[in-house]
């Protein structure tokens, strides 16, 4: 049975329903299957042994998602080499490829969850009413456990960048 949760996020101040479990720090990070721009599949296991900072956005073509993705691309240069940054949205892979090329994004992976909503369902951030992903940040340690989680209460607000980066640095042993 699919778990649905309310009272966690709003979109333009309207309450939304999230599909999937409420993951917490200490939980094992669920695997997922998303797509690269060339339609090749990517799973959590593909970056095993690294710390993963997973930046979750509703759509790359919105101002906050744009700023969030640029910020983490810039910060990637300051993080230890054993930290991988994955940005996941429900955008089509082709839109992500177009945006990446136009913006010169080169330090993070842009991945699409449009096909199966595998990530959104596994991490409890699929917005049922919109079939988009809620704005969120997860940091997964090299051991595969979630060490940090933020689900932004209002989708049209920024996440706590500093807290997420601090958690990634600590998980990487810095």
**Best CA proximity match to 55, nearest among 4, 89, 6, 104:** 89
CA angle 127, 111, 20 (to 5 degrees): 30
Structure tokens at 84: 């991988």
Which one from 65, 110, 132, 140 is the annotated catalytic residue?
A: 65
Report the C-alpha gap between 103 and 3 in whole angstroms.
37
Active site residue 65: yes
Active site residues: 65
């Amino acid at each position: 049975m699919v778990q649905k949760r309310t009272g966690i996020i709003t979109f333009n101040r309207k309450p939304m329903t999230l599909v999937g479990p409420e993951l917490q720090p200490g939980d094992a990070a669920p695997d997922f299957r998303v797509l690269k721009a060339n339609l090749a599949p990517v799973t959590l296991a593909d970056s095993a042994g690294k710390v993963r900072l997973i930046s979750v956005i509703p759509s790359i073509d919105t101002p906050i998602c744009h700023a969030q993705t640029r910020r983490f691309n810039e910060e990637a240069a300051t993080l230890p080499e054993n930290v991988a940054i994955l940005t996941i949205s429900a955008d089509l892979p082709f839109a992500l490829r177009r945006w990446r090329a136009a913006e010169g994004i080169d330090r993070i992976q842009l991945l699409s969850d449009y096909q199966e909503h595998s990530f959104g369902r596994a991490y409890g951030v699929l917005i049922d009413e919109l079939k988009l992903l809620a704005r969120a940040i997860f940091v997964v340690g090299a051991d595969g456990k979630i060490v940090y989680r933020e689900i932004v209460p209002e989708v049209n607000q920024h996440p706590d960048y500093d807290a997420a980066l601090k958690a990634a640095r600590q998980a990487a042993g810095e």
